[in-house]
Amino acid sequence: MSWLRSRPLFALGLALFLAGCFQPLYGQYSPTGGPTLRNALAGVEVLQIEAPKGSPEARIAVELRNSLLFELTGGGGGAPQTHRLAIRVRPTRQAIIVDIATGRNEAIITGINAEYALTEIATGKTVIRDTTFSRVSADVPGQQQRFAQMRANRDAEDRAARVIAEQIRTRLASYLAAGT
């Protein structure tokens, strides 16, 4: 019966022993003194996203690039560039509820499909080529409020762009941390 009393102490000792073996993925400092994931992400150069000037796609491209730059650098300065990220976007919009009397949308789903490729600058080799997507819904307030409808569409596009930026950052972090 004495071994039953020592089990919690053994578990606590084992947990304390192993606590030094783990490194937070997005930590500021590396236990070995090497580069952290934060520095590796900051070394990714995000290229301008191609879109026709003055189009809704151009606004979405700027929002996505700005969100991605913030996700990768945290708003700070970048590190020496080691990789280049090229992105192509295709926005979509679909009405899910339409008022039968007026023919106006009451709810919409805004989507963004994105294709991206990460290239090592030193070798010119493409190390990641992937796609991602985001779908967000928005209610269109009021039947006679055209500007509220425009704002609802814009907010939905911004939310979708932020989701895409988070998904791309997560995929890049996976590659830069594990090499796969």
Residue 39 CA, distance from chain mean position: 17
Q: CA of 150: how far to CAs of 78, 107, 109, 144, in Å?
A: 35, 12, 14, 12
15 lies in some domain? no
Q: How many domains does the chain have?
A: 1
Answer whether residue 21 shows pLDDT above 90.
Answer: no
33 lies in some domain? no
| Residue 20 backbone zone (phi > 0: left; psi -120 to 50: alpha; other: beta) | alpha
Say which DSSP state 20 is in.
Answer: G
Answer whether residue 23 shows pLDDT above 70.
Answer: no
Q: What is the pTM of this model?
A: 0.79
pLDDT digits (tens, 9 = 90+) for 97-109: 888 887 777 888 9
Say which DSSP state 29 is in.
Answer: S
pLDDT digits (tens, 9 = 90+) for 40-69: 888 899 999 999 898 889 999 999 999 999
Domain harbouring 46, CATH code: 3.30.160.150
Q: CA of 176: how far to CAs of 7, 40, 114, in Å?
A: 39, 7, 20
106 lies in some domain? yes
3 lies in some domain? no
